[in-house]
């Protein structure tokens, strides 16, 4: 299994009352597969994994594996605050048929690098699936240092890292420090850095914007692979106006709002993270009209 390309942290569709909408999840999976994305990642940040109950997480994961039906890799977001809960859910994901795990750093309480290393090593030893580290310190308060990633890359089933820090030097150090593992994949979690990560030796991105513009995001990777850097740069630059809308609120909320505006039945984010001002909604709608009118989809 190659960890590469554009992996979509798929939204979790919800009904107006906040309950899960499994039929809409199936529709979203089919839409993304038709756009030729390279992987589906349920229960990530854009999938609101942070606000779902364990029962709901299991339901989303089972439905995703069933709908994907082996056509693409399924990367299950199984990170929890405690090591024991992460191990437990990671084993459940393995039983459900996930192809790989994405494990976020624990959050809320501060953790040392030694504690983070021990956490990930324990989880990796508990399963046989490939495991991808997930660094997003702005959300968790815990950052995975490049030296720690280098050490963790010595475990055979820790096969990659997603960096959502927004610090490109951090990404570069991840790439530099894992060159002893040719099969180790560094993925950009910041959609604006996907092309630059590829140019630096990374393998792709986990792209929230692929929920909105899946074909455009796939083109960043595919154009790069075929050596058409001009086309890759055009696709990369195309999402800038949309990402500029993130100043109006929570990026997850803006992505889900945009997908709904495009006519897909994904519902709102779960409260309290469901607010977007009228100014923000108007800005998102205007950007979508402009970009779709230019063929960005």
> What's the pLDDT tens digit per position in 222-253?
999 999 999 999 999 999 999 999 999 999 99
pLDDT digits (tens, 9 = 90+) for 7-66: 999 999 999 898 999 999 999 999 999 999 999 999 999 999 999 999 999 999 999 999
Tell me if residue 36 is catalytic.
Answer: no
| Residues facing residue 177 across a β-bridge | none
Q: How far is CA 163 from CA 61, 70, 135, 148, 278, in A?
A: 23, 26, 5, 13, 32
**Per-residue confidence band for 175, with pLDDT thresholds at 50, 70 and 90:** very high
pLDDT band at 194 (very low <50, low <70, confident <90, very high): very high
Q: Which among 57, 75, 162, 256 is annotated as catalytic?
A: 162
The pLDDT score that the predictor gives to residue 231 is 98
**Residue 162 appears among annotated catalytic residues:** yes
DSSP string, the chain: ----EEEE-----B-TTS-B-HHHHHHHHHHHHHTT-SEE-TTSTTTTGGGS-HHHHHHHHHHHHHHHTTSS-BEEE---SSHHHHHHHHHHHHHHT-SEEEEEPP-SS---HHHHHHHHHHHHHH-SS-EEEEE-HHHHS----HHHHHHHTTSTTEEEEEE-S--HHHHHHHHHHTTT-TT-EEEESSGGGHHHHHHHT--EEE-GGGGT-HHHHHHHHHHHHTT-HHHHHHHHHHTHHHHGGGGGS-HHHHHHHHHHHTT----PPPTTTT---HHHHHHHHHHHHHHHHTT--
| CATH number among 3.40.430.10, 1.20.1090.10, 3.30.1300.10, 3.20.20.70, domain 5-235 | 3.20.20.70
Q: Which of 90, 87, 145 is nearest to 115 (CA)?
A: 145
Q: How many residues does the chain have?
A: 297
Residue of 210, 213, 212 whose CA lies nearest to 188: 210
pLDDT bucket at 69, cuts 50 / 70 / 90: very high
> Considering the chain, what is the average pLDDT of its residues?
97
Domain ranges of the chain: 5-235
**In which band, very low, low, confident or very high, does the pLDDT at 272 lie, cut at 50, 70 and 90?**
very high
Q: How far apart are CA 240 and CA 48, in angstroms?
A: 23
Q: What percent of the chain has pLDDT over 70?
A: 100
For helices 214-225 and 229-238, what crossing angle results, to 10°?
Answer: 160
Kindly report, residue by residue over 203-221, the tens digit of the pLDDT.
999 999 999 999 999 999 9
pLDDT the model gives residue 2: 87
pLDDT attached to residue 1: 79
Residue of 57, 75, 134, 256 marked catalytic: 134
């Amino acid at each position: 299994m190659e960890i590469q390309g554009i992996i979509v942290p798929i939204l979790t569709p919800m009904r107006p009352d906040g309950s899960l909408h499994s039929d809409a999840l199936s529709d979203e999976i089919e839409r993304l597969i038709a756009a030729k994305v390279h992987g589906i990642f349920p229960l990530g940040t854009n999938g609101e994994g942070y606000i779902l109950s364990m029962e709901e997480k299991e339901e989303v994961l089972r439905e995703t594996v069933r709908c994907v039906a082996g056509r693409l890799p399924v990367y299950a977001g199984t990170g929890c605050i405690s090591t024991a809960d992460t191990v437990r859910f990671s084993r459940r994901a393995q039983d459900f048929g996930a192809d790989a795990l994405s494990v976020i750093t624990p959050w809320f309480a501060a953790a040392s690098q030694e504690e983070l290393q021990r956490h990930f090593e324990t989880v990796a030893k508990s399963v046989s699936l490939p495991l991808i580290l997930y660094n997003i310190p702005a959300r968790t308060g815990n950052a995975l240092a490049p030296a720690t990633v280098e050490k963790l890359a010595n475990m055979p089933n820790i096969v990659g890292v997603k960096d959502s820090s927004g610090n490109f030097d951090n990404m570069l150090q991840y790439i530099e420090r894992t060159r002893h593992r040719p099969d180790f994949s560094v993925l950009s979690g910041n959609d604006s850095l996907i092309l630059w990560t590829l140019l630096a030796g990374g393998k792709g991105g986990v792209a929230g914007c692929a929920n909105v513009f899946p074909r455009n995001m796939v083109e960043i990777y595919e154009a790069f692979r075929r050596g058409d850097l001009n086309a890759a740069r055009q696709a990369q630059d195309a999402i800038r106006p949309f990402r500029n809308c993130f100043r109006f609120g929570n990026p997850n909320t803006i992505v889900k709002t945009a997908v709904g505006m495009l006519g897909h039945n994904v519902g709102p984010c779960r409260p309290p993270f469901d607010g977007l001002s009228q100014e923000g909604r108007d800005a998102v709608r205007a950007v979508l009209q402009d970009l779709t009118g230019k063929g960005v989809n």
